[in-house]
Amino acid sequence: MPKQFISLKGKAILYYSVLPFLEAYDDLQVIVVLPAAFMEKGQKILDNFHDKDRIQITAGGDTRFQSVKNGLSLIKDESVIFVHDAVRCLVSIELIQRCYTKALYTGSAIPVVPSKDSVRLMTSNGSEIFDRTKVMLVQTPQTFLSKVILPAFDVEYKDSFTDEATVVESTGIKVSLVDGDENNIKITRPIDLKIAENLLEKEN
């Protein structure tokens, strides 16, 4: 089962990931991109929102690039676009609004947090230490003006496209960084569920 459907304190992870966006701005529209086989399951989760008319659902593709492209294809108006991982269920309204403000003035906003661990680079002779103050860990929502991100995705997929920032950068546009949030974790391991549960309990 895709991780966004795993239960977290009685609700699907996907529910928590969508809610802050609906609460951040009254006019914000949400497009949820899901595996085709889980569209019906996803719709049942999204039907629990009282303002579900602000949510669209569409099928994803074989890659992150194609899934994002499918979602972007539904956007027709000039806007600020957030691209968010469905399993980053602790994203805060403050981070969403911080990204929005930055993107309005610079065209993009990529939330990052500094590396707290030592970093080593692999070399032909083994490895070497790398200055961790120059390493930033990337989060979502990666945020862009529509006039920046929509044309960028009108290309063929490349293996170097690891996220939306790399797609935009391939067009020659530099992206802007913004302070992320240490609590904006990505659910990838069982321990992450425990951390998320504890953080939600503290928040409540």
Query: CATH number for the domain including 160?
Result: 3.90.550.10
Task: Find all residues with CB under 8 Å of 59, minimum gap 6, and list them.
Answer: 33, 34, 35, 36, 39, 70
- Asked if residue 47 has pLDDT above 90, the reply is yes
The domain in which residue 60 lies consists of: 3-203
Which CA distances in Å does 93 have to 21, 24, 126?
Answer: 7, 5, 43
Q: How many distinct structural domains can be found in the chain?
A: 1
The mean pLDDT value for 123-150 works out to 97
DSSP 177: E
Which of 134, 171, 135, 177 lies closest to 154 in space, CA to CA?
171
The DSSP bridge partners found for residue 111 are 178
Residue with tokens 């990505």: 186
Both structure tokens of 25: 């701005």
How sure is the predictor about 203, in pLDDT bands with cuts at 50, 70 and 90? confident
pTM: 0.95
Return the pLDDT at 204: 75
The mean pLDDT value for 47-74 works out to 96
